[in-house]
Copies of this chain bind each other. A is one copy, B any other.
Amino acid sequence: MPETERHFGDDLANAVERTGNPVVVGLDPRWEQLPTGFTGSDRADFSTRADAYQKFCKEVIDVIAPLVPAVKPQAAFFEECGPAGMAALAQVIAYARTKGLLVIFDGKRNDIGSTAEAYARGILGRDGQSGWEADAVTVSPYLGADSLEPFVKIAGSRGAGLFVLVKTSNPGSHMLQDQQVEKGPIYRRLADYVESLSAETRGKRGYGIVGAVVGATYPKQLAELRTVMPQTWFLVPGFGSQGGTAKDVAAAFDQRGLGAVVNNSRGIIFAHSKPAYCERFGDSLWQEAVEAATREMIAQLRAETSAGNLAAP
């Protein structure tokens, strides 16, 4: 039973409609790629790096918060810096929330039953309910249904959500995900289960709180999964640096321009070093590059997908 009136599926729909686009900015701070103003030394200790990550991500948030519905901090890069990095992550999440962004904790966490519960309790839920106060978390499914259920239950009670890895964007995703089992590949077996969880948690806007990660780099599978998962939000990674284009992700959306959010990490936060932007902006104008890259991605998605049916903000 929901203890809250918030519903992650509805909140995401509202945020996408409010901003007029489905862009998620991935916060993947990488030391070597930070603008030079953030890196004093090549051999900085973990604490120095963590401070730089925090400062950099907050400045990225200042630029993009008026433009997009959500951010997705990648836990790995913060965790790489040890406890100081995790403290920085918490600060970044809190800051994003004060700026009105939904926050997807990209941790690909999971474990068996009661341990999965600890992850869900710790990561999901605002206002002191959890240790990290995220709105959603990415979850790995190898452990099976009883590892996903605690996330669904706790997310539901706290107005939060989750995205289950279904068909990931990397080349090696074929190894397990594409293995043929009865009635099709493993990812289809999982897709049917995730859709059933979404259906059970369906909100007013037609989508549940249990989403699926489906890579932009596999457009055919994306289209197939949209058909068989009509009530499931998709979190689509692989746009930009990994090769996915606006055309590749078009099939992920419903006619309203809802149903999918598309992540871009390096292509936005490190736009200053991309060929398309480095001459125009360069290192010292990195924030302008972030804004330009965000606006360009928004324009591409609005031109090439049904996100164009969303009202412009």
Contacts and interface: CB of A to CB of B under 8 A. Distances in A.
Interface of A: 28, 30, 46, 74, 76-77, 79-87, 89-90, 106, 108-113, 115-116, 118-119, 121-123, 130-132, 140-147, 165, 168-177, 179-182, 186, 189-190, 193
B189 A179 contact: yes
A161 B74 CA distance: 23
Given A141-B176, A145-B172, A122 B76 contact: yes
Nearest to A171: B146
A175 B186 CA distance: 10
Contact of A131 (B46, B121, B132): B46
Given A142-B165, A180-B181, A131 B170 contact: no
Counting from the closest, the 3 A-B pairs by CB-CB distance are: A82-B131, A144-B172, A146-B172
A181 to B, nearest CB: 4
B190 A176 contact: yes
Contact of A86 (B86, B108, B146, B190): B86
A189 B176 CA distance: 8
Contacts of A143: 108, 140, 165, 168, 170, 172-173
A77 B118 contact: yes
A109 B76 contact: yes
A190 B179 CA distance: 11
Contact of A118 (B80, B110, B122, B132): B80
21 contacts: A74-B118, A76-B111, A77-B115, A81-B122, A82-B131, A83-B89, A85-B131, A86-B87, A108-B109, A141-B176, A142-B176, A143-B168, A144-B170, A146-B171, A146-B172, A147-B170, A176-B190, A179-B186, A179-B189, A180-B181, A186-B186
A113 B112 CA distance: 25
A122 B179 CA distance: 31
Nearest to A143: B168
A175 B74 contact: no
B186 A118 contact: no
B169 A112 contact: yes
Contacts of A174: 144
B176 A140 contact: no
A168 to B, nearest CB: 5
A177 B142 contact: yes
A89 B74 CA distance: 20
